[in-house]
Structure 1
Amino acid sequence: MPVRKGGHVSKDNHERWLLTYSDLITLLMIFFVVMYAISDTNAQKMAALANSLAQTLTGAPATGILTSGGLTSIVPGIAPAPGQGDEGAELARARAELQQYIQQEGLESQVTLNTEERGLVVSVADAVLFPKGSADLTPEARDLLRQVGRALARLPNYLRVEGHTDNLPINTPAFPSNWELSTARATNVVKVLISEAGIKPERLSATGYGEYRPVAPNNSEADMARNRRVDIVVLKEAYNVTEPHKGEK
């Protein structure tokens, strides 16, 4: 035994290892808690990304190993958030119904469907809807919008109707610029969706982007025709927080 000055004998502390062991266990617990939090967040993001990519590439909900609410996850052990599965399935059904109608009517070159991060976009060329330089819908346009609206009326999502033009300037008493023309066209489409497709007005909004949201360069007639369009956007429910609303949709 070690002998201290003064003749006192000191005893070794054989229990000091418990302090080290306790510190180690505490650090391990903190480490695993942090790792769990990180892995849980990343897995949710990965599941959302995988589902979005699957819908964009195939137009259908993602498929995989585990299921929840009618939608399957392609990430093992991760299920979609509640409500997202049903929404994805409903959007896929609406898209399939619209695609069938477009093919039956031979409208593939005039009506296109795209699944984007914000939702399903039904893009209709202005030549199908309006005479040149006008916001008055043709009878054929009303029939088309009626069919499109009926397919979308069953969805609970908000719908945003967006008017677009090419970059050719317009200056008439009714439309001093492309802003007025694009907004008037979007508004008239909204009116038909309400009156003839039975969509509740509180679910709808209209906006005009003029020439400033092109999908192609305005350097050829074909590309300019692509830019002259009306988009009906079925917003995903995640975007409800950005849409002013009150009461039921």
Structure 2
Amino acid sequence: MSRKREHEAEKENSERWLLTYSDLITLLMIFFVVLYSMSKVDAEKFKAVAASLNKALSGGTPAKIELATSPSGPSLFETGTPSSTTTVPGKDTDPNKTTHTDPDTTNWENLKTGQGNSDAENMSIEAIKAKLDKFAADNGIQSKLMSSIEERGLVISIQETLLFQSGSADINDRARQILERISTVLASSTNQIRVEGHTDNLPIRTAKFPSNWELSVIRSTNVVEILQSAGIAPNRLSAAGYGEYRPIASNDTEEGRGKNRRIDLIILRSKYDVTEPNTQNSNGN
């Protein structure tokens, strides 16, 4: 009896490998199912995400991104235009040597260091500033027409007394001549120009201007019309009114209020074209 039981025990133990084998097959099947599900990409959603990432990291208009397709379906995304530094085997190049420069990474590093603009554009902005400063000095208005270079571009600040009567948006003949002279300098560039109207915090309530909002907007719009009539392309111009809410000095003193009552002409750097509607193919045209 003991020999028969030992024989049956050996027979049962010899078949236990089937359990391990079936577990392995099951795990392999689950593994390939997971791989298969991961390979199915929603092309439209993936394209939208890729475009948003390109736009955020490059600081400009997102590059065209296309999804590479194959008979089995979509795969990983590729940029629409290959980099000029990417090595292509079979094109008189050594397939063992690869050189690659990522333009998006370069743009992102430039943005972080504040150097996202070309040297040519910086020289153009500095040249415009030098001409306007000389014009202001030659005409004795350097305390009322001032310019400064900021991150967003060249800011030309014109005090209210040089353009308007107090509480009025009408531009007199002398002010018109000054704006026309300024427009001849600005016409040499193709950058977007934003005209911003600002006031102090003293309230105004007239039939024509119920608040400082209306006064600042109408003033900036009137300046835009003169710049356009003087030769600035209208698709480069925009007008904004900020009322008393963007002061550059304290409104507690008359001197500070005088500085706040101003028109600012902003020559925007080209990297901000992405925030301006329909400017990619229309600058200066």
Provide TM-score, normalisation by structure 2: 0.60
Letter of the aligned partner of 2:196 in structure 1?
Answer: E
Equivalent in 181, 184, 197 of residue 163 of structure 1: 197
* 1:200-219 alignment, distance < 5 Å: 200-219=233-252
Equivalent in 121, 129, 137 of residue 163 of structure 2: 129
Equivalent in 259, 262, 271 of residue 226 of structure 1: 259
Residues in 2 aligned to 1:239 and 1:40: alpha-carbon distance in whole angstroms:
17
Q: Which residue of 1 aligns with 2:225?
A: 191
Letter of the aligned partner of 1:175 in structure 2?
Answer: F
Q: List runs of 5+ in structure 1 lacking aligned partners.
A: 1-35, 52-80
Residues in 2 aligned to 1:208 and 1:188: alpha-carbon distance in whole angstroms:
12
SS in 2 for 1:189: helix
Letter of the aligned partner of 2:255 in structure 1?
Answer: A
Equivalent in 110, 114, 125 of residue 44 of structure 1: 110
- Identity percentage over the alignment? 44
Q: Which residue of 1 aligns with 2:33?
A: none
* 1:165-184 alignment, distance < 5 Å: 165-184=199-218
* 1:135-150 alignment, distance < 5 Å: 135-150=169-184
Q: Which residue of 1 aligns with 2:152?
A: 118
1:137 Cα deviation from its structure 2 partner: 0.3
Q: Which residue of 1 aligns with 2:14?
A: none
1:84 Cα deviation from its structure 2 partner: 1.1
Q: List runs of 5+ in structure 2 lacking aligned partners.
A: 1-101
The change in CA–CA distance for 1:107 and 1:244 in structure 2 (over 3 A counts) is same
Deviations 1:161-219 (A, max 9, x none): 000000000011110000000000000000000002x0001100000000000001101
Residues in 1 aligned to 2:184 and 2:138: alpha-carbon distance in whole angstroms:
16
Residues in 2 aligned to 1:45 and 1:186: alpha-carbon distance in whole angstroms:
30
* RMSD value, Cα: 2.1
Deviations 1:101-150 (A, max 9, x none): 01100111101101110000000001100011000001111011011111
Residue 239 of structure 1 pairs with residue 272 of structure 2: yes
1:40 Cα deviation from its structure 2 partner: 6.3
Stretches of 4+ moved more than 6 A in 1? 39-42
1:41 Cα deviation from its structure 2 partner: 7.7
Decide whether the 8 Å contact of 2:204 with 2:211 is kept in 1. yes
Q: Which residue of 2 aligns with 1:89?
A: 123
The count of aligned residue pairs is 180
